[in-house]
Amino acid sequence: MAVLAVAGLSARAPAEAARCSGYEVIALDLFGDQDTREASLQWMPIGDPARMRIEPARVLSALASLAERGDVAGWVVGGGFDGHAALLEEGAALLPLVGNAARTVERIRDPAGFFAALDRHGIAHPEVQVAQPADPAGWLLKDAHGSGGWHIQRAQGRAPLHHYFEREVPGAPMSATFIAAGCHATVLGFNELIVQPLGSRPFVYRGVVGPVSLPDAGAATLRAALDRLVGEFSLRGLGSLDFIWDGRQACVLEINPRLPASLSLYDWRVVHGVMRAHVQACLEGESPRLMEPPSPPAVSGQEIVFARRPLQIGDRAIRHLASRPDVHDRPWGQMMVAEGDPVCSLSARGSDAQQVRALLRVARDQLLDELETMT
């Protein structure tokens, strides 16, 4: 059985997907939670969970160690590597990178080049600029190397390195989960993103719900846009296209050319699993073989649970989290959780997105109430 390494801020979902696709897994992430360790042969830390930051030296050390094993086929990356093109290149020299090359990631994360490509292909997007707006009202400041929405702020001052200004547009934050192969993208589904304020950060990613339907014309426009962008940037494997949907038109925000947070919603959609399809698309240029969705299709969702106040996760809380089948990313051992830090994640399933979001909201509040009584 082939061994595959998965790396990211959190490797739980990729590790579980890889195992479901028939791989043995070595996980590299920040948290080393219970679920990740259970899905993996080995867990290796690659950063500081308190700072939510991947440390390149630790990544390269881990990859060098895996290369010495001789049985690891390659490594795949998820969230957290968006601004680390140089690290991807150095890591690929140690162990084969099963995903988009560093140069591809660098091109997509360059705002000037990316939005120019959208313009060339006639793909709608918000107004963007590097220069400070004369009137900052209605503008956002974004870090092209950031992820998870932690970096997005209301516009103020000049744009630092890698940052740009983007005109805020009305609508719902959404994404398309896809697998790219050659000049074609297979869309696995469209998703609603759960994006809410967290402390001083106004647009933090908290979860995803899908698949959800779009009008035929809107879905066709997004699929055509993806095909053009896949060819433009030579994309391979799993990824996501983030956009704002105003009810009539999609306004493209960015492409994430790596394993998306939504991949766990679509393992059922792909014959032999999403991770095997990712590997085959990257290495052999094969499009995935899809299963027909049930009618009506079930909708799934997942949400990150952030602490409302400091929590002491003790033995009682750990046992409680383990008793709930809807809880994932469970802490490995006793720990202190600061206000605003992630505690775990929740999953839910329902007949439509509205029901799933409601189930997640109720479960989140209930779980936090329970944990707070145990502190």
Angstrom distance (rounded) from CA 109 to CA 126: 16
Let me know: does 259 contact 238? Beta carbons within 8 Å. Answer: yes
- Tell me if 362 is assigned to some domain: yes
- Tell me if 290 is assigned to some domain: no
Residues 113 and 24 in one domain: no
Angstrom distance (rounded) from CA 205 to CA 194: 6
Angstrom distance (rounded) from CA 46 to CA 26: 12
Token pair belonging to 100: 């988009």
Residues 88 and 121 in one domain: no
Q: Beta partners for 189?
A: 177
Let me know: does 147 contact 201? Beta carbons within 8 Å. Answer: no
Q: What is the span of the domain harbouring residue 41?
A: 3-98
Angstrom distance (rounded) from CA 164 to CA 325: 41
User: Token match 């994640």: residue?
Assistant: 345
Residues 258 and 159 in one domain: yes
Number of domains into which the chain is organized = 3
* Domain end point (choices 98, 115, 141): 98
- Tell me if 291 is assigned to some domain: no
Q: How far is CA 118 from each of CA 4, 125, 126, 128, 252, rounded to the nearest angstrom?
A: 34, 7, 11, 12, 8
Residues 78 and 147 in one domain: no
The pLDDT tens digits along the chain (375 residues) read 699 999 999 999 999 999 999 999 999 999 999 999 999 999 999 998 878 889 999 999 999 999 999 999 999 999 999 889 999 999 999 999 999 999 999 999 999 999 999 999 999 999 999 999 999 999 999 988 887 777 888 988 887 888 999 999 999 999 999 999 988 999 999 999 999 999 888 899 999 999 999 999 999 999 999 999 999 999 999 999 999 999 999 999 999 999 999 999 999 999 999 999 999 999 999 999 999 887 777 899 999 999 999 999 999 999 999 999 999 999 998 999 999 999 999 999 999 999 999 999 999 999 999 999 987
Name the pTM for this structure.
0.95
Let me know: does 59 contact 28? Beta carbons within 8 Å. Answer: yes
- Tell me if 253 is assigned to some domain: yes
